[in-house]
A and B are shown apart, each in its own frame.
Chain A
């Protein structure tokens, strides 16, 4: 069996460990992609409101999550 197939089996199996690890990794990936995309949008003068619409969240939520991080960089 290939390594990928073994992993897929592990992730869909009964052992919670691999499944939880996969969720964590996916969340981490999502967070990083979101940060990149939000930074890019802000650099192109998109408003927080416009970004929020695309992300499907409130303007307050997206601002709270990213404004401070962006000021820090």
Chain B
């Protein structure tokens, strides 16, 4: 489905994957797509987010806590849970990385998660809705702005919750993205 994606939307998806990896989440959800869009830095989506006062590092912290509260979806290698047994995960990480290189502990996730990180159902749905948003606006390519519209249209996802926590209303953000997309077209 990525063939109609404009360069900025593709890049935002790649960045979303990097954000998911960096947060050690085993999936790419709407919240990671949102981070990818913000991290891309230019275009309708990133500009509208910046204008709404959203900046990447704050967003990253909000996503991390949102996912941690979700419980099961988080990294099973839970530093707090290990601390409750007196195990310092940072210390274990330091010794394994000294022996086997940076990220060693995260590369060796048993039988699971190597390289490819799957999209969540809602993230896929948001990307489908991005296509529909582009069609509705009579744009022939899907850009980062349409991806953000798709996420907002899907509505019931961690990205929208994180934005609400950051004090950003979906409605005005949506209008601003559309305005910027129309101005750019």
Residues of A within 8 A of B (CB): 4, 7-8, 10-11, 18, 21-22, 24-26, 28-29, 31-33, 35-36, 39-40, 69, 72-73
Contact = CB atoms under 8 A, between A and B. Distances in A.
B96 A33 contact: yes
Given A31-B110, A33-B96, A25 B105 contact: no
A32 B82 contact: no
A3 B83 CA distance: 10
A22 B81 contact: yes
Given A29-B89, A29-B92, A24 B81 contact: yes
Q: For chain B, which range describes its interface: under 10, 10 to 19, 20 to 34, or 35 or more residues?
A: 20 to 34
* Secondary structure class of chain A's binding surface, majority of residues: helix
A22 B82 CA distance: 6
A22 B108 contact: no
Given A4-B83, A7-B83, A18-B84, A32 B77 contact: yes
User: Shortest 4 CB-CB distances between A and B: which pairs?
Assistant: A11-B84, A35-B108, A25-B81, A7-B84
Nearest to A38: B108
B2 interface: no
